[in-house]
Amino acid sequence: MNFEDLLTEQRNRHSTHIDQVDTADMVEIINREDQRVGRSVQKQLPQISQAITLATKRFDAGGRLIYIGAGTSGRLGVLDATELRPTYGLEESQTFGIIAGGPEAMFNTIEGVEDSAELGEKDLKKVELNEKDIVIGIAASGATAYTVGALKYAKSVGALTIAVACVTDSPLQENATVAICPIVGPEVITGATLMKAGTSQKMVLNMLSSGIMIRSGKVYQNLMINVVPTNEKTKRRAKRIIAAATQTSTLAAERALDRADNNVPLAILLIETKGTIAEAKALLEQAGGHVSDAVKLSLQA
């Protein structure tokens, strides 16, 4: 694959003279190009849906959600994993991002690391990758050696491999169980894939991770119910979530949260079913941790 021939590296005819227009026209050009991103992601919804379905099955069975990439793509993966943990009450072992060059590469450019397929494989071996895991390889070009090497190794051990790229028929795609490829076209600034490509990757990762969390029962209605109330701020948030979910007062939410020993899903179920702690726990276990399903089961009883 000739890197210079990649769509992500081509010149954008709509922004050829962006350095000569006034600021109002400049931002208009950038915004107009950004509007292409949503449409490109929309065309990938079937692949995103498939990836969520397959990943949820592994995640619920104890598989880890692992992001890997270099440069901007790697940083986006680390960001998604880092934000997932407090939002959905996950342990660090359940989801994390790996970036070529290690933690320092989050803030500085580490020369040469993205060109090593062996390093991508080595970094996954360090975390003892296994067949239960989910690996999301992110590379705008679909050709970054580090990420391709990582996904190739992940595929060899039987892990679920998901590629997120902005080109088709790439080496990354060849090693993916599911390939998600929003085609955003040439960047406003030639080769600056932190722009449209980065935006599309962020949108895809948001949808993937949020979808997996929803399907895993960590959302009730549209509320993030796996928040862990460890301090006053998170306790207030937990009470607001319970009150909103059950359409009751914050005082009733507080009482339920105390009864449930700070377990938000259990507190919601206590209010929704008006049952005992033991009954709520049994329903939640029967429903695989899904509050909506547990409520339905209680109505059938």
Q: Tokens 């490109």 map to which residue?
A: 40
Does residue 3 surpass a pLDDT of 60? no
Does residue 232 surpass a pLDDT of 90? no
Catalytic residue among 28, 92, 114, 128: 114
| Segment 96-126, tens digit of pLDDT | 999 999 999 999 988 889 999 999 999 999 9
pLDDT mean over 152-178: 97
Residues 266, 270, 253, 247: is their CA dihedral positive or negative?
positive
Distance CA 216, CA 161 (A): 19
Fold designation for 220-300: Helicase, Ruva Protein; domain 3 (1.10.8)
Q: Where are the domains of the chain?
A: 3-215, 220-300
The per-residue pLDDT for 1 is 57
Per residue, what are the HEC states of 134-176?
Answer: EEEEECCCCCCHHHHHHHHHHHHCCCEEEEECCCCCCHHHHCC
DSSP category for residue 12: P
* pLDDT tier for residue 197 given thresholds of 50, 70 and 90: very high
Structure tokens at 66: 């692992």
| Segment 58-85, tens digit of pLDDT | 999 999 999 999 999 999 999 999 999 9
Is 118 labeled as catalytic in the residue annotation? Answer: no
φ/ψ (deg, to 5) at 138: -120, 125
* pLDDT tier for residue 283 given thresholds of 50, 70 and 90: very high
Residues 146, 113 contacting (CB under 8 angstroms): yes
Let me know if domain 3-215 sits in CATH 3.40.50.720: no
DSSP category for residue 14: G
Determine which helix (DSSP H) or strand (DSSP E) holds 241, and give its type and residue range. helix 232-246
Residues 6+ apart with CB under 8 A from 42: none
DSSP assignment of 167-235, as one string? SSS-HHHHT-SEEE-----S-SSTT-TTTHHHHHHHHHHHHHHHHHHHHTT-EETTEETT----SHHHH
Is 83 labeled as catalytic in the residue annotation? Answer: yes
Of 152-156, 162-166, 273-277, least confident by mean pLDDT is 273-277
Catalytic residue among 9, 83, 174, 254: 83
Helix (H, G, I), strand (E, B) or coil at 2: coil
The per-residue pLDDT for 299 is 87
Look over the chain and give the mean of its residue pLDDT values, rounded to a whole number.
94
Q: Hey, how many other C-beta atoms are within 10 angstroms of the C-beta on 222?
A: 8
